[in-house]
Amino acid sequence: MATRATPQKNNAVAVNLDTAEREDKHEEFAAVIDGKRIVFTDAADLAWDVLETMDSPSEFIEACTSEEDRRHIYDASLPAWKFKVLWESYQQHFGLASPGNGRG
């Protein structure tokens, strides 16, 4: 990848994020909730500040689903244990740490 940091002199840049391309694309993460297949946003596609602070069920659902899918999830009234299975599966799929524990 041509965007890796390299030593530079003068006003040159080490990395140009405007032209950087992603190398580590994951398979999509989808779950069936109340009979509907819902695809969740790839964690790497979220803004870093959103990902950093996403530690509640509502923040996760808001950040990772479409408006239509959000309504479906809220209408399904998932019990806490099922939401835990969803959240932990998402974290494992994308290699995320548990909230408050940093990336692992």
pLDDT tens-place values along the chain, 104 residues long: 455 655 556 678 888 889 988 887 889 999 999 999 999 999 888 898 888 887 788 899 999 999 999 999 999 989 999 999 999 999 999 888 765 444 44
Q: Decide if 58 contacts 64 (C-beta within 8 A).
A: no
**What pLDDT shows up at residue 21?**
85
> Does a structural domain hold residue 45?
yes
Q: How many domains does the chain have?
A: 1
Whether 100 is in a domain gets the answer no
Residue 99, in any domain of the structure: no
Q: Is residue 70 part of a domain?
A: yes
**Domain assignment of residue 86, given as a range:** 29-94
**Over the Cα atoms of the chain, what is R_g?**
17
Cα–Cα nearest to 30, from 64, 59, 76, 55: 64
Structure tokens at 54: 């996403």
Residue 15 within a domain: no
pLDDT of residue 73: 95
Report field, pTM of the whole predicted structure over 0.85: no
Q: Which amino acid, 64?
A: C
Distance CA 96, CA 104 (A): 7
Q: Domain for residue 49, yes or no?
A: yes
Within-domain flag for 76: yes
